[in-house]
Amino acid sequence: MKKFDSAMDLYRQMAANIPDCSIYIFDENYEYLLAEGEEIAKNGFSSDMLVGSNFFEVWPQEVTMELAAYYQDTLKGKRQKLEKQSETGYFIQHFIPIADKSGNVLAGMVVSQNISVLTETRQKLTDTSRELRTKDQLIEAVINTLAEGIIVSDKTGKVLLTNPATEKMLGVNVSTEDISEIGNQLIIKTSENGRELTNHEMPLAIALHGGMLNGYVTYVENRKSRKILYVENNSRPIVNDDGEVEAALLVMRNISLRKELEDLVDENINTLKEKNERLEGLLYEIAKGMRGPVANIDILLSLIKKTTEEEERELYLSKMADTSRMLEKSVTALSTAIMAFTSVKEDWVQNSFDEILEEFRMVYKKELTEVDLRINSDFNRAESVIFPPNVLKGVIFNLLSNLIQFSAQGEKSEVVLQSAIQSGKTSVKINCDIKNLNLQRIFATGPGLFGKNSDFGLMGLFIAKNHIESLGGRIVVNSKKSLTLLF
């Protein structure tokens, strides 16, 4: 005992200050020389009861059976550790031999610590960690299967997280750690005016500065593949408890298809609006082209009824005949125009320019000879155009028959038709060597179907123009004596 007196106080101090701990020292006869610590009381003992008592006498048999070997080995100089669960908690016991300077074991020491709280905490940590791992795996699975591209960057621009969709969408390698390297592979522009974004305007940069973007659309072009897409960006800053931005999240959605559909819808709406406007114009002309002559016939009938003079009656009848002819022409032109408005593109066919012109020459052979008008053509550059059946024929017949009327001056005239393809569009230029012809004036009459020159039979020209335009084509008057049909 004396040998340990100096150390005993130290061991007591240790036992008193280490929470949930007890220290036992026993001699070669397994008698306790020291038993201290708050755990002793929890086992129903006191220090006094244990000191001087024998290990085998104090503890119940199941305890001595379990621990005897440890006690013996300790006295043999072996350090051991035992973790065990008992009714009072989870313990860790260190068996430490106490030896002199020569290494002779003088006694054994057991440091027993109740680590129930620690074990519980450790278990909780393990459970939490497992739970977090499961959540991580779940999040990773979700992120990896998302169609949206995701990039999380820290405030230095280091990529913390990204997903396969980003790589697939942008067509760039996102394994890099530097966000600027991803940016360098792309040209990113605003969708409104096509201006290239500066580094500070990039969606992630905005979020790293505390800003937030919702549905901001950018136009993205891959520098290498030239692939173009529209991306909807949603970015958020990720802030810590002090409200400081630590990182930023960017979620990107490829909306190219949506954009394409939107553009298509816009285009269709505009086409529809344009068509409606033209239809309105056409209906206006129908009112004028049909109701006007009918009203004239009505008045002429009243005049015929009123007059007793044969000469006057003849005059009114001749005016009525003129009106009827006008009405007939008008009905034909309007019917064709209405058919064109309702024409379905699938029904369009190849219209051969040569065939149309040949037919015109045959039908108007007599008139062409009478006015000495030659019609020449060069359709080598474009032989035909896809258009509704008979519409192009109607338009060309209309234009040329009107030119015959202008040629009735008794002088030689010539009309040359020449086809071409420009920017994917087929055109037919018509150059007229006809005295006094002023195409600009004729077409400047605007929507007036029966213009000043109605007596020249030009009523169909506006319809022809409207007709072509209603089908996506145009009549462009180049000069007084030249015009171009564009398809």
Return residues touching another protein (CB under 8 A).
283-284, 287-288, 290-296, 298-300, 302-303, 306, 319, 322-323, 326, 444-448, 450-452, 454-455
- Three-state helix/strand/coil letters over the chain: CHHHHHHHHHHHHHHHHCCCEEEEEECCCCEEEEEEEHHHHHCCCCHHHHCCCEHHHHCCHHHHHHHHHHHHHHHCCCCEEEEEEECCEEEEEEEEEEECCCCCEEEEEEEEEECHHHHHHHHHHHHHHHHHHHHHHHHHHHHHHCCCEEEEEECCCEEEEECHHHHHHHCCCCCCCEHHHHHHCEEEEECCCCCECCHHHCHHHHHHCCCCEEEEEEEEEECCCCCEEEEEEEEEEEECCCCCEEEEEEEEEECHHHHHHHHHHHHHHHHHHHHHHHHHHHHHHHHHHHHHHHHHHHHHHHHHHHCCCHHHHHHHHHHHHHHHHHHHHHHHHHHHHHHHHCCCHHHCEEEEHHHHHHHHHHHCHHHHHHHCEEEEEECCCCCEEEECCCHHHHHHHHHHHHHHHHHCCCCCEEEEEEEEEECCEEEEEEEEECCCCCHHHHHCCCCCCCCCCHHHCCHHHHHHHHHHHHCCCEEEEEECCEEEEEC
In the bound state with another protein, the residue whose beta carbon lies nearer, of 148 and 322, is 322
In the bound state with another protein, the residue whose beta carbon lies nearer, of 77 and 446, is 446
- Contact predicate 423/455, CB 8 Å: no
At its nearest, how many Å lie between another protein and the CB of residue 406?
17
At its nearest, how many Å lie between another protein and the CB of residue 451?
4
Cβ contacts of residue 428 below 8 Å, gap of 6+? 353, 382, 417, 418, 419, 420, 484, 485
Q: Alpha-carbon distance 426 to 71, whole Å?
A: 107
In the bound state with another protein, the residue whose beta carbon lies nearer, of 288 and 480, is 288
At its nearest, how many Å lie between another protein and the CB of residue 296?
5
At its nearest, how many Å lie between another protein and the CB of residue 341?
18
At its nearest, how many Å lie between another protein and the CB of residue 334?
13
At its nearest, how many Å lie between another protein and the CB of residue 462?
10
What's the token pair of residue 303?
Answer: 């005049």
R_g of the chain, CA atoms, integer Å: 51
In the bound state with another protein, the residue whose beta carbon lies nearer, of 264 and 321, is 321
Looking at the chain, how many residues does it have?
A: 487
In the bound state with another protein, the residue whose beta carbon lies nearer, of 381 and 441, is 441
Cα of 262 vs its chain's centroid, Å: 11
Residue whose structure tokens are 């020459």: 361
In the bound state with another protein, the residue whose beta carbon lies nearer, of 290 and 416, is 290
In the bound state with another protein, the residue whose beta carbon lies nearer, of 3 and 291, is 291
Q: Alpha-carbon distance 119 to 108, whole Å?
A: 26
At its nearest, how many Å lie between another protein and the CB of residue 280?
8
At its nearest, how many Å lie between another protein and the CB of residue 459?
11
In the bound state with another protein, the residue whose beta carbon lies nearer, of 234 and 440, is 440
In the bound state with another protein, the residue whose beta carbon lies nearer, of 141 and 295, is 295
In the bound state with another protein, the residue whose beta carbon lies nearer, of 308 and 436, is 308
- Contact predicate 363/399, CB 8 Å: no
At its nearest, how many Å lie between another protein and the CB of residue 321?
11
In the bound state with another protein, the residue whose beta carbon lies nearer, of 237 and 293, is 293
At its nearest, how many Å lie between another protein and the CB of residue 437?
17
At its nearest, how many Å lie between another protein and the CB of residue 283?
8
Backbone angles phi, psi at 199, to 5 degrees: -55, -35
At its nearest, how many Å lie between another protein and the CB of residue 448?
4
In the bound state with another protein, the residue whose beta carbon lies nearer, of 39 and 285, is 285
